[in-house]
Amino acid sequence: MSIAWFLVVSAMVFSIGAGGVLTRRNPLVVLLCLELMLNAANLALLAFSRMWGNGDGQVFAIVVIVVAACEVCIGLGVVVAMFRRRLPVDVDEMTELSG
C-alpha cells in the first residue's frame, strides 16, 4: 500500500475528531474526540516514519501516546471534580472562567 493511503485515513480520522470536539457537549466525549485527533497524528507520524525508513517517527509516536495518557489523566480528574461538586457535566454550562 502506498503511504498516501495511510495519510488519507489519518486526515479523515482527524477531521472526524475535530468535528466531534465542536458538536459534543459531554466533556468525556470531547476527551474521546481529542484522543481521535492524537491517534490520527500518530498514524501520520508512523506513515512518514515508514516512508523514510527511519525509526525517529516511531519514538515521536510513543511520546504522543505518553502525552495522551497524561491528558486523559488530568481531564478525567477534572470531570470527577466537576461531578463531586454537583456541577453539570456539560462543557456549555461551565462558563465561570469565560469572563
Find the binding residues for another protein in span 16-75 (CB under 8 A).
16-20, 22-26, 28-29, 31-33, 35-36, 39, 42-43, 46-47, 49-56, 58-59, 61-63, 65-74
Q: Which one, of 45, 16, 12, lies nearest residue 33 by Cα?
A: 16
Footprint (CB under 8 A) of another protein, residues 70-99: 70-74, 76-81, 83-85, 88-92
Query: What is the rounded CA–CA span in Å between residue 42 and residue 32?
Result: 15
End-to-end CA distance of the chain: 51
Query: Shortest approach of another protein to residue 87 CB, angstroms?
Result: 9
